[in-house]
Structure 1
Amino acid sequence: MIYDIHQTTAYSYDSLVPVARHVLRMVPVDRVTQRVVASHVSVEPEPVEWTEARDFFGNRVVHIRIETPHTEFSVHTRARVEVEPPVPVEGTSGPSWEDVREAAAAWLDLSAASPAHHLFPSPAVPLAGPITDWAAESFPPGAPMLAGAIDLMNRLHAEFTYDPRATDVSTPPIEAFEMRAGVCQDFAHIMIAGLRGLGLPAAYVSGFLRTEPPPGQERLQGADATHAWVSVWCGEEIGWQGLDPTNALIVSTDHVVLAVGRDYADVAPIGGVVLGSGKQELHVAVDVIPLPPEPAAEKRKG
């Protein structure tokens, strides 16, 4: 599946900002089942400094400095991305969750794909006893790792309410857990906290989700959204598997990966320092547009 992705992120400030530094993580990169055909990011006002790098987990990071006084700041991202379906894995196959826990604890490789980086508490996902106890219900003795993770995903989707008013970007997982409400970031953090509490590796994934309009209605521009889900390590043979607790979906071609980290703090789309006073407003619009398949080449006669 090939998508054209358009994202506009715009800030407006109550007072004039004379200088600002930002860190952007808003451009996808090649992944195991994902190929970036083309990408471009632009910023207004124009920065006086622009440097690009890859962070430890391979995410594309742009550092900018703006010295033009401004009350509005915007980032425009364009990308064409080809997504292939992952190799299907049966939930009842693979090692038990106890075997995965033992393998992860004994893992010696510390490369970016290592499960070791996603075993322990992280800045935005501390461990919490109530979340661990709740997650443990999905992992009876001897249960296959992937089957338990899928059950946990389905329970979270069934028991929690999607409510953008319930939380904000800084809400701790335990608060969202106690409210049984939140957004995709909260659901991902809760699932990660539960898995790590059991000694199971889980990573935070940010990206884009292709959404479909109701039957008979036209697709609305900007109706798609930035999204978050979980990547669960299921042992060396099966590897990392994407699970979307917000929608109870096994990740496939409707999901486009933007960045991967231990939690939201590692993959926040925009960070940095702004010199100014007063409030700021944020507006985000995302389009994930599937391209029609190319027509098959006409066979030559003769």
Structure 2
Amino acid sequence: MAAPPLARVLDGVRLHVVTGKGGVGKTTVASALALSLARQGRRVLLVEVENRQGISQTFDVPPLGTEEVRLVQDPSGGELWGLSVDAKAALLEYLQTFYKLGRAGGALERMGVVDFATTIAPGVRDVLLTGKVYEAVGRTSGGKRGQGRLVWDAVVLDAPPTGRVARFLGVNEQVAGLARMGPIHSQAASITRMLRDRRSVVHVVTVLEEMPVQESADAVAELSAAGFGLGAVVVNQVREPLVPAPLLARLEADGPQVEEQVRADLSAVGVRSGARTVGGLLAEARDHAARITLEDELTAEVDALGLPTLTLPALAAGTDDGGVAVLADELAAQGVR
């Protein structure tokens, strides 16, 4: 199945949900995506919901709180802001918005009701976290939703990992089904509509390893079946081959001749070409060849998902020394708008 053009997939998108298996660089990719959009003149909010302070570590700023903090002011006029959503604060805000509890909210917190709701009650935490994202996406300058201009041109959500992202995004549909009327039902139904709207897409981050690719494929199938819009697959930490393709082919076709060639090349530059040295080099090269073959097979599996694919290089220094900016430029060069 041919992937649709990236431009068509991203056209009009305001909420970018970024997920991926643990360890694939999900937060780094979410940060690079948000920065790429901000450097194109947009006002962007980058949100995390797992309380890991990954954004603050990526941008080397103090830990984020419950208020938006500006991370980048770009010469293009764009801005990147960061927010770490706290479920307890979101619950108190929700109670104040819909029930005008005032000081009673503080009393509930002291009694342990807030802790119970946000850590023990199944699903409530995810409802609150997605609710805060919903508020940010629809926030306008007029004070009330729908009045004035939108505050954020785009919101990028560093979402939970692929193993539970569909459940996280779908929790409000379950709540709306349980609460047949009232503000809880209305809020949950509105959040569900936003997450399934064409202006919201889920990007899946992977690396070219068997488990992450398989988990990405499972997530794409689950999200699609649940009715959530899909964006791009981002293949992160791509490394350039260390050995030229023709030499890799020769390793399999005529090993003895390659061994003699390696021995001659080492001698020509004054390096001892004993059996251990030559054998070690060839063993490393063959392992590398096997790795390249596997990555080619996994790339074909990613392509078979039928989504636009973005690739990001492995950075020797990680995100230090402007690494996130390098990745942001890579995304822009590949058509992220």
Alignment TM class, shorter chain as reference: under 0.3
Q: Which has the larger radius of gyration?
A: 2
Compute the TM-score of the two structures, normalised by the length of structure 1: 0.23
Q: Which has the higher helix share?
A: 2
Q: Which has the higher strand share?
A: 1
